[in-house]
Amino acid sequence: MTYEIDLSGAMWRKSSHSGQNGECVEVAALAAGRVAVRDSKNPGGTALVVSAADWAAFISRIKSGALGH
């Protein structure tokens, strides 16, 4: 199932660890406890939207090393 979500007013941000090579992801907090994620090289492209809880769990797994380096 696909939903259309208006991301035109989203406040996108990159990690402070992002380099200048342009290979980054950007995230934006959305209403209703959701988070959008997009490729910084293609800001007009498709964004992945997940629940804030799922995003937090993903970040936690990254920080713990559970997903590799």
pLDDT, one tens digit per residue, over 37-67 is 999 889 888 999 999 999 999 999 988 988 8
Instruction: With respect to residue 31, please indicate whether it lies within any of the assigned structural domains.
Output: yes
Average the pLDDT over 23-43 and give the result.
Answer: 91
Tally of domains within the chain: 1
Higher-confidence position of 21 and 6: 6
User: Is residue 59 a part of any domain in this protein?
Assistant: yes
Residue 12 lies in a domain: no
Domain-located, residue 54: yes
Q: Give a yes or no: residue 6 inside a domain.
A: no
Helices (H) and strands (E) in the chain, counts: 1, 4
pTM of the model: 0.81
Does some domain include residue 30? yes
Say yes or no to pLDDT of 21 above 80: no
Q: Report CA-CA distances (Å) from 39 to 8, 31, 42.
A: 15, 20, 5
Domain range spanning residue 35? 23-64
Digit-coded pLDDT (tens) for 3-18: 788 899 999 998 777 7
Whether residue 45 is contained in a domain is answered as yes
Domain-embedded: residue 35? yes
